[in-house]
Amino acid sequence: MTHPLEDMHVTLPVNLSAPFEVDKLLEVRTSGMKKMAGLNIESGIDKKPCPGPMRITKLGLEGDEHDPTFHGGLDKAILGYCSSHYDAWRQSYPERSDRFVPGGFGENFVTACMNERNVCIGDIIAVGPDVLLQVSLPRQPCFKLNHRFSLKNFAPETYRTSRTGWYYRVKREGTVRVGDELRLVERAWPQWTVARVQEYLHRDKDNLEMNRQLAEVDALGDESRGQFRKRVARAMSKSKPAEEGLWKDYKITGRRMETARVVSLVMEAVNPDPESDISLLGAHARMKLPGGLVRSYSVVAGGEGGAGSPNTLEFGIALAENSRGGSRHLHESAKVGDVLQVGRITAAIGLASAASNHCFIAGGIGLTAFLALIQGMHSIHFNYRLHYAVRSEEDIPFKGRLAAFGENVVLYDKSKGERMNIKDIVKSLTWNSHLYVCGPERMMEATKVEVEASGMPQNEVHYEAFAADVSGDPFEVELGGLRKGRVLKVGADESLLEVLQRERPDFPSSCEVGNCGTCKVRVTSGCVDHRGTALLPEEKETSMLSCVSRGIGRITIEI
């Protein structure tokens, strides 16, 4: 049977699949933590050659430093990389040829012929006379490789082609030096090369049988083995297929007025799901309220004030000036001990993990859309900055959390005459930045103008609205697909989404203001008045957001 990797049509150096038994240690490299160029974060990726003997302990080479969030530790003591990969990278990216040299990937060991296709998880490798290592994990590159080589979205290319490098754990400590022999001592898992593990880790993620097999490879480090175990658990859990549309009871366990207009509500699942791992970074949750009201609110935290467990949710809800009943009920009537139904928890604001820098522009209650996402970025040492405009200091919710972000927050207090200059913010964005915007309509529109003037690609900006005008002229919708020929009528003050959910109560939606794209439908004929920000220009040719966009006359859609 042809292995999936053989069908990738990727040009790779010759002899990558040649058997490995003996190799030579060409370079040993270490580094201290240093600030990355143009960023306010530190990294240990810039490793320099060490000509003399180097001591290796259980945590790696003495004197070598890492960002402990994703690097270092027992399973990631040493990073290895094949020197022959650099020739291939120079051919693919000739404009960066001076950067594709040994050490470019931040490796500790530079070797001649060991690579992802002839090194297996669990391999025991002797290095020189003293040291024994064991291959533990494929390296999972992050945005720092994009930044190091000044190539947007480069990191995914490294694991698509399985040229990432791999980690070792230390089985026996000792001393290594350049020129030492690396010798294969034991191979317990010959079927699991690093490249084959990456096939199921990154590309064929839904292969349940392979996920199950990899979850049982005890030599595989927890970072990857844990991912395979979670996939198996999700597949085996009977509740998961219906999770998105499932309504669950949540009890209000905490209530606090953050400001005169913003209430914080902490809600805990009445029947917690210990297996649930829904991301709460940039998430919305829908809430059923008395009187048949259903409202969507941003999740500002989960678990212990963080971004983790969906069994505990925290919301920050502003009392709308023209409340239709939702925010008014939560401000004036909801109390600790009340049970409400919550459902469709959706991470609508994706973390742009390939970006080197993350810039947030927020006004007032717009902070709540981004708070969990920023807290997550802060905890894993991403480069970010929040520009936040308020009417006065008394109008700032969640002050304690903002204070923890330190100089990453720039505050604009209107009562002190301070004004946010959106033009300057957009102009000052560094290379490979992602922009997130949420606030009053004037702020949103001003940012759109400056983004367009700057030439910034639309896929590098996320606009998050809290309200949307869905009204307009009535229109008709002819259904295609299995319901071909059926015609629905959408009134002047209702959305297509509302009409579709009367037909199909489980029809997917999340933010319902045009931010996320969950309710997107395919349009096969007719004209559309596009609203919202979730669709790229090319997507508008064939799709519409049913929550906010409106047809003109009659349109035909497929659902």
547 within 8 A of 495, measured Cβ to Cβ? yes
Q: Where in the chain is the domain with CATH 3.10.20.30?
A: 475-558
Q: Which residue from 204, 123, 210, 101 is spatially nearest to 167, judged by alpha carbons? A: 123
Q: Where in the chain is the domain with CATH 2.40.30.10?
A: 249-347
pLDDT at 466 over 80: no
Place 404 in a pLDDT band, splitting at 50, 70 and 90: very high
Dihedral angle, C-alpha 444, 394, 284, 353, nearest 10 °: 70
171 dihedral zone (left: phi>0; alpha: psi -120 to 50; beta) = alpha
Taking CA atoms, 98 is separated from 70, 87, 89, 93, 151, in Å, by 27, 11, 11, 10, 13
How do residues 308-343 score in pLDDT, each as one tens digit?
578 899 999 999 877 667 888 999 999 999 999 998
Q: What pLDDT does 240 receive?
A: 47
Taking CA atoms, 129 is separated from 56, 172, 181, in Å, by 13, 11, 9
Q: Where in the chain is the domain with CATH 3.40.50.80?
A: 357-464
CATH number of 357-464, picked from 1.10.10.10, 3.40.50.80, 3.40.630.10, 3.30.70.100: 3.40.50.80
The CATH number given to 249-347 is 2.40.30.10
Q: What pLDDT does 323 receive?
A: 64
Domain 22-233 has CATH 3.30.420.40: no
Q: Which residue from 455, 458, 454, 412 is spatially nearest to 434, judged by alpha carbons? A: 458
Residues 6+ apart with CB under 8 A from 474: 489, 490, 491, 492
Provide DSSP, 443-507. Answer: HHHHHHHHHHHHT--GGGEEE--S------S-EEEEE-GGGTT-EEEE-TTS-HHHHHHHH-TT-
How do residues 78-122 score in pLDDT, each as one tens digit?
999 999 999 999 999 999 999 999 999 999 999 999 999 999 999
The whole-angstrom separation of Cα 470 and Cα 547 is 7
Q: Where in the chain is the domain with CATH 2.40.33.20?
A: 22-233
Q: What pLDDT does 343 receive?
A: 82
The CATH number given to 475-558 is 3.10.20.30
Q: For 180-193, b where at least 16 C-beta lie within 10 A, e where not — what string?
A: bebebeebebeebb
Mean pLDDT, rounded, of the chain: 89
Q: Give me 496's structure tokens.
A: 């297509």
155 within 8 A of 141, measured Cβ to Cβ? yes
Residues of the chain with pLDDT > 90, as a percent, come to: 71
Region 482-487: mean pLDDT is: 76
The whole-angstrom separation of Cα 481 and Cα 470 is 26
How do residues 525-557 score in pLDDT, each as one tens digit?
999 999 988 888 889 999 999 999 999 999 999
Q: What pLDDT does 426 receive?
A: 97
The whole-angstrom separation of Cα 265 and Cα 514 is 25
Residues 6+ apart with CB under 8 A from 457: none
Q: What pLDDT does 324 receive?
A: 63
